[in-house]
A and B are shown apart, each in its own frame.
Chain A
């Protein structure tokens, strides 16, 4: 048996049995030899020996490893018990699986975005993103290269500090031009992030600002795979970017897509690879403010200390160059999980709240399963009492009951794992119509698996331990004696059942309320007037600036595009812009009005867009004063701009803004018009000052904006074709109706309401089935009592009232507790709502009504059934 230890345990058990048998046989033989009859001898010997099973049990305890065996026995027992009631097992497992999946799905989204802000980077917890000046959603890059370098060289708290700027470019040279996202980065970029190349090398310090005749480029892994077929000899080869030859010097590792959370870079070059950006590299304000900066904290340095340190350095810079740093310059640091640059600013505002919701769903489900479990244990109390009186200790009983819950939740967790591997990837669905290279998605890694394990364990404990602890407390003898006379499983269990039902209603109310508020928000967003026309507008981006045209060539091409597109049948008018509103992006710059004295710490940032003639006309944005742009506002004409109401009020309160001058990029622009305010980013934004400049004076990117007669989507192929007729190499992208583009602004509202809606539905179903189950069960337990009541003269209506009152009480208490809870919770989502208050009385009332009515309906069925019982059969039934 030493060679086969696993068989050994069975054999040892048999041997112990045999040993005890021998003991008894010898005792009987001894007694018989003393003259006792066989029967009395057997009885006496057995009595003397004691409880055979117990002796076996305590003896086996001596063998060691007994706990493992016991666990195996308990698990087998739990499985057998669960198999005996398949209805309960399947329902409970399914409910738990859905609830765990809800949690792990949201968690996988958090894991894929906030917890892995920069995939592939080392210790992202040490990374901080730097912001200068006012904090807002989706800010523009805050630093000039010179400011960045001073901060990098003079700080004492960062182990490294990188800077980057990214934009679209066209990959030429191949059969098909391809649009790619390229980042200008400092030489230490990969080093600070802790990324090692899979091929070749990354940039050297001396290359940081040095222009090269043939610039060096580093490829992202996916681009290397797709466009260059994973060529192992790619390093040293020449490729073409916007018709400039560049040399590949390295390939980044798989998975690494850049330093901005949620966006994918395809290539990296140094800050001024062609030497064309010398002005940018040597100035501190205006167009030279173009870099996003990320730092790595030195070990043991807190974010607060680093903020203080960097702020001190920034103060010195501001003191040395006051003219370049008007307004607010305070430095603030954010950990990457909530960095305002990239997607995480939005994620951090949304996902934790959704996780809290799914946590509620899990609690709710646990309460529901615990109710079912408790009812089951009450039904099994006779079995439990017998086992207890046979010598099973309380610990053993609890262990077994908890184990049933744990087995359930493990199976549910496994199911949830399978489900989550699919649902984690659904996050990308919400971000389809985006102009940026977004790579947002959930991730399914060890964190999520651990998360699922924790959720399941929690669920198992909650829905197994609580009822087990309750049930095992009942003294065995009393249960056995009281068995026949018991009404509803004792007052203890009744109280616990009530508490569970109340908590289910109380937990589902906030879910319902929040989802109702989100749905109303979504509807308000869809119906809201953003201040511009969204229908009958088609926009198409044209890569005139990334194909490698000279300025003159580009101007000619742009005019050609406008002419061709305007002439298309079905097009009312065409104009240019370089920005589409409500696409989570904006351009910002400092603007200084002539004669305006800024308050201390006042940010002078304005949003700006470069638009051509007929832009305002096609979007139906009224020009309140002055004029719209005309085709004559070109490079040769005086520089002009149109301000919106907010900008006009801010810079020239009570004055006529027309003819006033605003300094942007160090150049004076004359105000020629005032446009009505319209939405820039989100419907619920605070109005920011906006200035429009003439497209042919300042436009960088080219977006054709077409006003169509019919459905704009039908015109997309024609517009694309017309542009390609001018130059086939010109990339045309993001061709879509305005309405589709602006939906990006409400994508988080869609995520919120979709999830909250699903959660609320689960909550409603659980709460209603929960109260139905408990009232039905209790009514059944009281069948006998009800029979007696009816026999003594209670009318059917009395019975109906009796049962309904019970449900009414539970519902009422649940609603009251839930309402208090919900009103506290909605405060958390105030910021996410639009056009509706967090405690909107109509919504609150209708949600309470809905839940109350559904609960009462759930109580009516058992009440009705009880009412219809024949009192005689009811009394007989015990």
Chain B
């Protein structure tokens, strides 16, 4: 299987989650692609390492769906970069993504942490 197919698979696996993570990162303020990667890595304590092959397709997809907007700006280090900003629609999407995420976590939790006495009754 070629590399490209691997990327595609990763996107599929993480799709919902990656979109949510990116939108959450942008909640804190407009950010460029590199910034999103760094922010996710720092906030997750170096656990989440987003690959560029997933990040940029995701950013462009989010923009096409109208959840983020982009503009070219100078960064603090005088580097011209494309900054992504979350839109009102994106915020709504983030809320619903988060709600779904919480339900999933809760549901998975219910399955994984069943108390022994409850399961026997």
Q: A19-B81, A26-B77, A26-B79 are in contact. Are A55 and B53 (CB under 8 A)?
A: yes
Contacting residue for B2 out of A15, A61, A393, CB 8 A: A393
Tell me how far the C-beta of B39 lies from the nearest C-beta in chain A, rounded to whole angstroms. Answer: 13
Contacts of B53 in A (CB 8 A): 50-51, 54-55, 58
Contacts of A18 in B (CB 8 A): 80, 82
- Contact between B77 and A63 (Cβ–Cβ < 8 Å)? no
Q: Is B60 in contact with chain A by the CB < 8 A criterion?
A: yes
- Contact between B34 and A23 (Cβ–Cβ < 8 Å)? yes
Tell me how far the C-beta of B3 lies from the nearest C-beta in chain A, rounded to whole angstroms. Answer: 5
Stretch at the interface among B4-12, B90-98, B104-112: B4-12
Q: Is B75 in contact with chain A by the CB < 8 A criterion?
A: yes
CA A402 to CA B56, docked complex, whole Å: 31
Where chain B touches its partner, the secondary structure class is helix
In chain A, what residue has the closest Cβ to B33? Answer: A23
Q: Is B32 in contact with chain A by the CB < 8 A criterion?
A: yes
Tell me how far the C-beta of B117 lies from the nearest C-beta in chain A, rounded to whole angstroms. Answer: 50
Contacts of B38 in A (CB 8 A): 30
Contacts of A418 in B (CB 8 A): none
Tell me how far the C-beta of B102 lies from the nearest C-beta in chain A, rounded to whole angstroms. Answer: 28
Proximity bits, B13-53, A CB within 8 Å = 1, else 0: 00000000000000000001111001000000000000111
Q: A22-B32, A64-B64 are in contact. Are A15 and B82 (CB under 8 A)?
A: yes
- Contact between A63 and B60 (Cβ–Cβ < 8 Å)? yes
- Contact between A62 and B32 (Cβ–Cβ < 8 Å)? no
CA A770 to CA B75, docked complex, whole Å: 65
* Interface size, chain B (Cβ < 8 Å): 26
- Contact between A62 and B61 (Cβ–Cβ < 8 Å)? yes
Q: Is B57 in contact with chain A by the CB < 8 A criterion?
A: yes
Contacts of B51 in A (CB 8 A): 50
- Contact between A19 and B52 (Cβ–Cβ < 8 Å)? no
Q: Is A392 in contact with chain B by the CB < 8 A criterion?
A: yes
Contacting residue for B64 out of A20, A26, A63, CB 8 A: A63
In chain A, what residue has the closest Cβ to B49? Answer: A48
CA A388 to CA B1, docked complex, whole Å: 11
Q: Is A57 in contact with chain B by the CB < 8 A criterion?
A: yes
CA A294 to CA B60, docked complex, whole Å: 67
Where chain A touches its partner, the secondary structure class is helix
CA A22 to CA B72, docked complex, whole Å: 11
Proximity bits, B47-91, A CB within 8 Å = 1, else 0: 000011100110011001000000000010101111000000000
Q: Is A449 in contact with chain B by the CB < 8 A criterion?
A: no
- Contact between A26 and B2 (Cβ–Cβ < 8 Å)? no
Contacts of A8 in B (CB 8 A): none
Interface residues of A in 556-589 (CB under 8 A from B): none
Interface residues of A in 162-210 (CB under 8 A from B): none
- Contact between B34 and A26 (Cβ–Cβ < 8 Å)? yes
CA A15 to CA B33, docked complex, whole Å: 13
CA A29 to CA B34, docked complex, whole Å: 12
Contacting residue for A393 out of B4, B64, B80, CB 8 A: B4
CA A103 to CA B75, docked complex, whole Å: 66
Interface residues of A in 106-158 (CB under 8 A from B): none
Contacts of B8 in A (CB 8 A): 58
- Contact between B60 and A59 (Cβ–Cβ < 8 Å)? yes
In chain B, what residue has the closest Cβ to A393? Answer: B2
Tell me how far the C-beta of B113 lies from the nearest C-beta in chain A, rounded to whole angstroms. Answer: 37
Contacts of A228 in B (CB 8 A): none
Q: A54-B3, A391-B3, A393-B4 are in contact. Are A25 and B79 (CB under 8 A)?
A: yes
Contacts of A94 in B (CB 8 A): none
Proximity bits, A375-395, B CB within 8 Å = 1, else 0: 000000000000010011100
Q: Is A733 in contact with chain B by the CB < 8 A criterion?
A: no
Q: A26-B79, A26-B81 are in contact. Are A55 and B2 (CB under 8 A)?
A: no
- Contact between B4 and A54 (Cβ–Cβ < 8 Å)? yes
Tell me how far the C-beta of B59 lies from the nearest C-beta in chain A, rounded to whole angstroms. Answer: 8
Contacting residue for A49 out of B3, B52, B75, B80, CB 8 A: B52
Q: Is A813 in contact with chain B by the CB < 8 A criterion?
A: no
Contacts of A435 in B (CB 8 A): none
Q: Is A658 in contact with chain B by the CB < 8 A criterion?
A: no
In chain A, what residue has the closest Cβ to B5? Answer: A393
- Contact between B57 and A19 (Cβ–Cβ < 8 Å)? no
Tell me how far the C-beta of A641 lies from the nearest C-beta in chain B, rounded to whole angstroms. Answer: 89
Interface residues of A in 45-93 (CB under 8 A from B): 49-51, 54-55, 57-59, 61-64
- Contact between B77 and A59 (Cβ–Cβ < 8 Å)? no
Tell me how far the C-beta of A837 lies from the nearest C-beta in chain B, rounded to whole angstroms. Answer: 60
CA A393 to CA B80, docked complex, whole Å: 34
Interface residues of A in 369-414 (CB under 8 A from B): 388, 391-393
Q: Is A755 in contact with chain B by the CB < 8 A criterion?
A: no
Contacts of A51 in B (CB 8 A): 3, 53
- Contact between A19 and B77 (Cβ–Cβ < 8 Å)? no
Tell me how far the C-beta of B111 lies from the nearest C-beta in chain A, rounded to whole angstroms. Answer: 34
Tell me how far the C-beta of B42 lies from the nearest C-beta in chain A, rounded to whole angstroms. Answer: 12
Contacting residue for A62 out of B3, B5, B60, CB 8 A: B60
- Contact between A57 and B4 (Cβ–Cβ < 8 Å)? yes
Tell me how far the C-beta of A700 lies from the nearest C-beta in chain B, rounded to whole angstroms. Answer: 83
CA A23 to CA B53, docked complex, whole Å: 13
In chain A, what residue has the closest Cβ to B8? Answer: A58
CA A118 to CA B7, docked complex, whole Å: 62
- Contact between A27 and B34 (Cβ–Cβ < 8 Å)? yes
- Contact between B34 and A22 (Cβ–Cβ < 8 Å)? yes
Contacts of A62 in B (CB 8 A): 57, 60-61, 64
CA A474 to CA B52, docked complex, whole Å: 31
CA A61 to CA B2, docked complex, whole Å: 16
Tell me how far the C-beta of A18 lies from the nearest C-beta in chain B, rounded to whole angstroms. Answer: 8
CA A58 to CA B11, docked complex, whole Å: 10
- Contact between B56 and A22 (Cβ–Cβ < 8 Å)? no
CA A213 to CA B8, docked complex, whole Å: 88
CA A18 to CA B2, docked complex, whole Å: 26
- Contact between A19 and B56 (Cβ–Cβ < 8 Å)? yes
Contacts of A15 in B (CB 8 A): 82
CA A7 to CA B42, docked complex, whole Å: 39
Interface residues of A in 3-37 (CB under 8 A from B): 15-16, 18-20, 22-23, 25-27, 29-30
Tell me how far the C-beta of A390 lies from the nearest C-beta in chain B, rounded to whole angstroms. Answer: 9
Contacts of A391 in B (CB 8 A): 2-4
Contacts of B60 in A (CB 8 A): 59, 62-63
Contacts of B56 in A (CB 8 A): 16, 19-20, 55, 58-59
- Contact between B64 and A23 (Cβ–Cβ < 8 Å)? no
Tell me how far the C-beta of B20 lies from the nearest C-beta in chain A, rounded to whole angstroms. Answer: 17
Q: A20-B56, A59-B57, A393-B2 are in contact. Are A54 and B79 (CB under 8 A)?
A: no
Contacts of B32 in A (CB 8 A): 19, 22-23, 26
- Contact between B33 and A58 (Cβ–Cβ < 8 Å)? no
- Contact between A22 and B52 (Cβ–Cβ < 8 Å)? no
CA A308 to CA B118, docked complex, whole Å: 82
CA A463 to CA B8, docked complex, whole Å: 32
Which of B2, B32, B64, B79 has its CB near the most chain A CB atoms (within 10 A)?
B2
Tell me how far the C-beta of A11 lies from the nearest C-beta in chain B, rounded to whole angstroms. Answer: 12
In chain A, what residue has the closest Cβ to B35? Answer: A26
In chain A, what residue has the closest Cβ to B60? Answer: A62
CA A51 to CA B2, docked complex, whole Å: 12
Interface residues of A in 694-710 (CB under 8 A from B): none
Contacts of B61 in A (CB 8 A): 62
Tell me how far the C-beta of A402 lies from the nearest C-beta in chain B, rounded to whole angstroms. Answer: 19
Which of A16, A54, A57 has its CB near the most chain B CB atoms (within 10 A)?
A54
Q: A51-B3, A58-B8, A64-B64 are in contact. Are A26 and B52 (CB under 8 A)?
A: no
Tell me how far the C-beta of B22 lies from the nearest C-beta in chain A, rounded to whole angstroms. Answer: 13
- Contact between B52 and A23 (Cβ–Cβ < 8 Å)? yes
List 7 contacting pairs A-B, 8 Å CB cutoff, sorted by A: A23-B33, A23-B52, A50-B52, A58-B57, A59-B57, A388-B2, A391-B2
Q: Which 10 A-B pairs have the closest CB atoms?
A: A22-B81, A26-B34, A59-B56, A62-B60, A23-B34, A62-B61, A19-B82, A62-B57, A59-B57, A58-B57
16 further contact pairs, Cβ within 8 A, besides A50-B51, A58-B4, A392-B2 = A16-B56, A18-B82, A19-B82, A22-B80, A23-B52, A25-B79, A26-B35, A50-B52, A51-B3, A57-B4, A58-B11, A58-B57, A59-B57, A62-B57, A62-B64, A393-B5
